[in-house]
Structure 1
Amino acid sequence: MRKKIQSTVYILFVIITFFALLKSFMAYEKPLNFLENPLVWLALIGFILVLVLKEYVNVLAITKAKELQNEKDGIVPEEPNLWIKKLIKSWTKAKAIEQEEEIILDHNYDGIKELDNSLPPWWVYMFYATIIFAVVYLVRFHIMGGDTPEMEYQKAVAEARMEIDMYKATSPDVFDVANLELLTDEKDLKRGKAVFNLNCASCHLADGGGSIGPNLTDEYWILGGGIKNVFNTVSKGGRDGKGMIAWNKTIKAEDIAKVASYVLSLQGTTPAKPKAPQGEIWEGE
């Protein structure tokens, strides 16, 4: 009677828990996403562990009952994993501990005797494997001239660069700073001026004369002039702790190039209130 009650409770637990977990999974938009519903996943893992543990306990109980019954009936069970021991024994000529008297060498040193036993099979076959590996390595790298790990890395890098170049060549929207040139088209400068007035004029003034930021109309530059230096300054920001912020997370690279080109177009103009020069004279690239 007691076993029936335990079985009934266990079956009810499995059914109720299964449907509860199923309903919990269906309540989420992405039920298989662990980050979205970790508690449900933990509950599922716990449920599975309970089932596995229950079956494991049943197997142990059945095994123990068989052992007690065999002991009661006087039945001696076969040694477990006997076939594995026979297989290992067939791999080696090593003598068992009971037979070591047969292989003791004659010489004796301070009571220390030496056995002439065979090496363990795992050691012997591992030694053979190292010999085979050494032969393959010798032929592969020193006779056939195979690629070393460094050469494989260089080839992988070269292939990756080729793929990047092909992607850039077939994707006109990809911006490449290495090929950056000064933009002189009126449309580009107009766009650069609009972005400049929106984001930069508060520190450099609308005419580029400088206020909090430096004067952009003279030939002095703190971080270098030229289209690439100006682009990098706008993109990555000015000097640490006291310079302009990096705009690469706010402004697109294409617009930064247009802003940089517009800033360089202010060279030689006459602002209303020019700020004193800062930095050094830029002599060109």
Structure 2
Amino acid sequence: MKKYIQSTGYVLFVLITFFALAKSFMSYQNPFDIYENPLVWLALIGFILVVVLKEVVNQMAISRARELQNEKDGVVPEAPNAWLKKLLKSWTKAKDIEEEQEIILDHNYDGIKELDNSLPPWWVYMFYITIVFAVVYLIRFEIMGGDTPEMEYEKAVAQARMEVNKYKANSPDVFNIDDLKLLTDASDLKRGKAVFNLNCASCHLADGGGSIGPNLTDEYWILGGGIKNVFNTVYNGGRNGKGMIAWNKTLKAEDIAKVSSYVISLQGTTPAKAKAPQGEKWEEE
């Protein structure tokens, strides 16, 4: 009775788990994502473990029943792992201890004798493989000029740069600071002014005259003038420990380029309350 209950429970477990997994595979968009659906993986692992364990138990039971039947019939089975012992013996060709008298050499060093056992075939074959490998390596890298690890690295880096440049060329939305230029279009400056008023006017005032932050209308700059220096200052922030924060986590690179161009457009204007100059006078090269 107990056996039938166990078999019934096993069959029910397999069927229920199978249908639950099938349902999850059809319901979830990414059923194998362990972070989104860890229960799916737990159910799958549990299902596999139970099936494997059941098969192991069955094999053990069959093996035990066979042993009992052999004992009953008086059959002496072959020693376990006999095939493995035969395989190892064929791959060593070493004499057994009982046969060592046949290969003892006529050398005697204070009672220590020497055996003339042959080398294991696996060792000999591996030695031959090392010779073949050495010949191939010599021809490939020393005669035919094969790539060294450094050369392979340089080629991989060059290939990666080509792919990045190709991606940038085919993706107009990708911003490249190397191609940064001063924007003078009215729509760009209008967008830059809107960004400035929303994020920068609280420290520099709406007319750029400066308050907490420096005056943006004069010729003096703390971290350098010009579109690239201004962009870099807005993007990465001011001096360490003080000055403006980095805006690269808040603003898009395109908007930083536009607000930087707008800041430069404030040069030469007359604010209502101009803050004293800070930094050094900037002159375009």
TM-score where L is the length of structure 1: 0.89
Question: For residues 47-87 of structure 1, what are the alpha-carbon distances to aligned partners after superposition, in whole Å with 9 as ceiling and x for unaligned?
Answer: 32112111101101111221222133221223445455445
Which moved further from structure 2: 8-17 or 255-264? Answer: 8-17
Distance 1:40 1:92 in 2: 49
8 Å contact kept, 2:21–2:44: yes
Distance 2:16 2:63 in 1: 30
8 Å contact kept, 2:31–2:40: no
Structure 1 counterpart of 2:228? 228
Structure 1 SS opposite 2:272 = coil
Structure 2 counterpart of 1:13? 13
Which moved further from structure 2: 227-236 or 33-42? Answer: 33-42
Give the aligned residue type for 1:197. Answer: N
Instruction: Give, in angstroms, the shift of residue 7 of structure 1.
Output: 2.3
8 Å contact kept, 2:17–2:43: no
8 Å contact kept, 2:92–2:122: no
User: Taking structure 1 as reference, are residues 13 and 175 closer, same or farther at Cα in structure 2, changes over 3 Å only?
Assistant: closer
- Could you list the structure 1 runs, at least 4 aligned residues long, displaced by more than 6 angstroms after superposition: none
User: Taking structure 1 as reference, are residues 169 and 48 closer, same or farther at Cα in structure 2, changes over 3 Å only?
Assistant: closer
Structure 2 counterpart of 1:129? 129
Structure 2 counterpart of 1:60? 60
Instruction: Give, in angstroms, the shift of residue 25 of structure 1.
Output: 5.6
Give the aligned residue type for 1:256. Answer: I
1:37-186 → structure 2 map (5 Å cutoff): 37-186=37-186
Distance 1:252 1:123 in 2: 64
Give the aligned residue type for 2:106. Answer: D
Distance 1:20 1:199 in 2: 53
8 Å contact kept, 2:182–2:261: yes
Distance 1:5 1:258 in 2: 76
Structure 1 SS opposite 2:8 = helix
User: Taking structure 1 as reference, are residues 167 and 48 closer, same or farther at Cα in structure 2, changes over 3 Å only?
Assistant: closer
User: Taking structure 1 as reference, are residues 252 and 47 closer, same or farther at Cα in structure 2, changes over 3 Å only?
Assistant: same
Instruction: Give, in angstroms, the shift of residue 195 of structure 1.
Output: 1.5
Distance 2:136 2:54 in 1: 50
Distance 2:25 2:258 in 1: 51
Which moved further from structure 2: 14-23 or 220-229? Answer: 14-23
Is residue 275 of structure 1 aligned with residue 269 of structure 2?
A: no
Distance 1:38 1:186 in 2: 53
User: Taking structure 1 as reference, are residues 249 and 2 closer, same or farther at Cα in structure 2, changes over 3 Å only?
Assistant: closer
Give the aligned residue type for 1:251. Answer: L
8 Å contact kept, 1:92–1:120: yes
8 Å contact kept, 2:219–2:267: yes
Distance 2:187 2:22 in 1: 59
Give the aligned residue type for 1:126. Answer: M
Structure 1 counterpart of 2:201? 201
Identity %: 81
Which moved further from structure 2: 18-27 or 33-42? Answer: 18-27
Question: For residues 95-150 of structure 1, what are the alpha-carbon distances to aligned partners after superposition, in whole Å with 9 as ceiling and x for unaligned?
Answer: 22322222223333343333221223332222222211111111100011011121
Instruction: Give, in angstroms, the shift of residue 181 of structure 1.
Output: 1.6
Instruction: Give, in angstroms, the shift of residue 88 of structure 1.
Output: 4.5
Instruction: Give, in angstroms, the shift of residue 235 of structure 1.
Output: 1.0
User: Taking structure 1 as reference, are residues 269 and 61 closer, same or farther at Cα in structure 2, changes over 3 Å only?
Assistant: same
Structure 2 counterpart of 1:251? 251
Which moved further from structure 2: 138-147 or 85-94? Answer: 85-94
Distance 2:64 2:138 in 1: 56
Instruction: Give, in angstroms, the shift of residue 278 of structure 1.
Output: 2.1
Structure 2 SS opposite 1:114 = strand
Give the aligned residue type for 1:118. Answer: S
8 Å contact kept, 1:95–1:117: yes
Distance 1:145 1:135 in 2: 14
